[in-house]
């Protein structure tokens, strides 16, 4: 019998509550973004997880329900490419039925490369998904094709964003990872394209996730530079956070035509307010994006433990958490072995 925390509001060793759960539903992807799943490593010999290694939809939902008992109010599905998981709509339906501790609906969202949205946006909405974030690194077709490294055209992702919007996911959040010398010339064009559309572009600093993307500090464009570049042509004013602990810093166009966000994971660590747990495709729980190891919840689930026992194990893991990687990042830690982004999700 695992003893420890009983369900309820949990705090870790730095006083941070458990609030968000990111669930990776597949380790596969139809893109090979050079900073995430470089072709050199994720080639035809790469060993992806076998079907029976993945958590089933029932196992994911059961685990998510136990997280909800501990105070989780927001669930994000990710991957790999989450829309590649067969019948992911059925999982969404199951998760959409979960409730927070005070009886509200779970905030249920998903991050996707957008490639399958023209086909799937409506069924995702019908299944109960509430919001969608689409990753899009450039509007320049040549740059985008080179970054996704499978020659995927930018127009098809734009069609995906339109399809999401038409299906009722509005506004769509659009995430652009900025890498110096690769797509930083496209920052202003990206902002301009979506200005006035209602959609919200968020510029993300390139991070040293995993061990395969050859990260160097020199590749990072600080968010302050992004804001300066956009504001020079389309003036911005700082906007208030929507809620305390919001990861993206908000900036509104002075002419009232919308807003952008910047996520400064490298230059302005937000560990102090990090309330996220991550569940990998095969059921490992990670308490930090940069963790070197996880906690095997699948073993507990498949060994017949009760809900109370699994909830207690989750509680203990969270209460012992002290992660603050981004606060202590250095050139040396950047070389440490870490789990890959495609495995744990963004
Ligand atoms: N395939 C989906 C997608 O691309 O949106 C979901 C999974 S992907 C791992 C989630 C997010 O992580 C994407 O927005 C991606 O751009 C971001 N990401 C991946 N590697 C990154 C890195 N090294 N630094 C910053 N963001 C990264
Ligand atoms: Fe796939 Fe998303 Fe990683 Fe790109 S960022 S390789 S789309 S998982
Ligand atoms: Fe959270 Fe870890 Fe990122 Fe810090 S480095 S914000 S603890 S995921």
In degrees and rounded to multiples of 5, residue 344 shows phi and psi of: -100, -20
**Atom 4 (ligand 3) nearest CA:** 271
pLDDT of residue 336: 77
Percent of the chain residues topping a pLDDT of 90: 83
pLDDT tops 90 at residue 270: no
Distance 34 CA to ligand 3 centre (A): 22
pLDDT digits (tens, 9 = 90+) for 120-136: 999 999 999 999 999 99
Distance 127 CA to ligand 3 centre (A): 31
Domains contained in the chain, CATH given = 20-344 (3.20.20.70)
**Average pLDDT for residues 26-34, to the nearest whole number?**
97
**Nearest ligand, CA 345:** 1
Residue where the block lists tokens 């603050």: 324
Distance 168 CA to ligand 3 centre (A): 31
pTM: 0.94
pLDDT of residue 1: 35
**Average pLDDT for residues 64-86, to the nearest whole number?**
97
**Atom 8 (ligand 2) nearest CA:** 80
**3-state DSSP of the chain:** CCCCCCCCCCECCCCCECCEEEEECCCCCCCCCCCCCCCCCCCCCCCCCCHHHCCCHHHHHHHHHHHHHCCCCEEEEECCCHHHCCCHHHHHHHHHCCECCCCCECEEEEEECCCCHHHHHHHHHHHCCCEEEEECCCCCHHHHHHHHCCCCCHHHHHHHHHHHHHCCCCCCEEEEEEECCCCHHHHHHHHHHHCCCCCEEEEEECCCCCCCCCCCHHHECCHHHHHHHHHHHCCEEECCCCCCCCCCEEEEECCCCCEEEEECCCCCCCHHHCCEEEECCCCEEECCCCCCCCEEHHHHHHCCCCHHHHHHHHHHHHHCCCCCHHHHCCHHHHCCCCCCHHHHCC
Lowest mean per-residue pLDDT among 10-14, 70-74, 240-244, 257-261: 240-244
pLDDT of residue 345: 67
Q: Is 33 in the pocket of ligand 2 (CB under 6 A)?
A: yes
Measured between alpha carbons, how far apart are the two ends of the chain, in Å? 33
| pLDDT confidence tier of residue 6, bands split at 50, 70 and 90 | low
pLDDT digits (tens, 9 = 90+) for 190-241: 999 999 999 999 999 998 876 666 778 889 999 999 999 999 999 999 999 9
pLDDT of residue 53: 97
Q: Which residues does ligand 1 sit against, CB inside 6 Å?
A: 29, 35-36, 78-79, 81, 111-113, 135, 175, 177, 204, 206-207, 209, 213, 341-342, 345-346
pLDDT digits (tens, 9 = 90+) for 296-342: 999 999 999 999 999 999 999 999 999 998 888 877 777 777 777 77
pLDDT of residue 292: 85
Tokens standing for 334? Answer: 């950047």
Distance 284 CA to ligand 2 centre (A): 20
Q: What is the mean pLDDT of the chain?
A: 93
Contact present, 252 and 237 (Cβ < 8 Å): yes
pLDDT of residue 344: 65
Distance 271 CA to ligand 3 centre (A): 5
């Amino acid at each position: 019998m695992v003893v420890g925390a009983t369900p309820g509001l949990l705090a870790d060793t730095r006083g941070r509550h458990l609030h968000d759960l990111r669930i990776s539903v597949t380790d596969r992807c139809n893109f090979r973004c050079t900073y995430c799943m470089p072709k050199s490593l994720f080639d035809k010999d790469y060993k992806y997880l076998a079907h029976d290694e993945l958590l089933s939809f029932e196992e994911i939902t059961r685990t998510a329900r136990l997280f909800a008992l501990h105070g989780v109010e927001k669930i994000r599905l990710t991957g790999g490419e989450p829309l590649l998981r067969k019948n992911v709509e059925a999982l969404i339906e199951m998760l959409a039925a979960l409730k927070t501790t005070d009886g509200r609906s779970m905030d249920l969202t998903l991050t996707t490369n957008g490639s399958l949205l023209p086909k799937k946006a409506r069924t995702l909405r019908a299944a109960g998904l509430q919001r969608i974030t689409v990753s899009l690194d450039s509007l320049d077709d040549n740059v985008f094709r080179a970054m996704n490294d499978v020659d995927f055209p930018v127009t098809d992702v734009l069609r995906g964003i339109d399809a999401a919007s038409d299906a009722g996911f509005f506004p769509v959040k659009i995430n652009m990872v900025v890498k110096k010398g690769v797509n930083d010339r496209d920052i202003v064009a990206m902002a301009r394209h979506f200005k006035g559309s209602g959609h919200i572009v968020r510029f993300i600093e390139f991070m040293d996730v995993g061990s395969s993307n050859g990260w160097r500090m020199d590749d990072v464009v600080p968010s302050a530079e992004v804001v300066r570049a956009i504001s020079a042509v389309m003036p911005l004013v700082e906007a208030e956070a929507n809620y305390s602990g919001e990861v993206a810093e908000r900036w509104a166009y002075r002419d009232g035509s919308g807003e952008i966000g910047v996520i400064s994971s490298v230059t302005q660590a937000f560990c102090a307010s990090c309330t996220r747990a991550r569940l990998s495709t095969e059921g490992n729980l990670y308490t930090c994006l940069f963790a070197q190891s996880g906690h095997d919840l699948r073993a507990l689930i498949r060994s017949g433990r009760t809900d109370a026992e699994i909830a207690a194990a989750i509680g203990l893991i969270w209460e012992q958490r002290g992660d603050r990687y981004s606060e202590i990042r250095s050139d040396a830690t950047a070389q440490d072995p870490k789990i890959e982004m495609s495995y744990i999700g963004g």
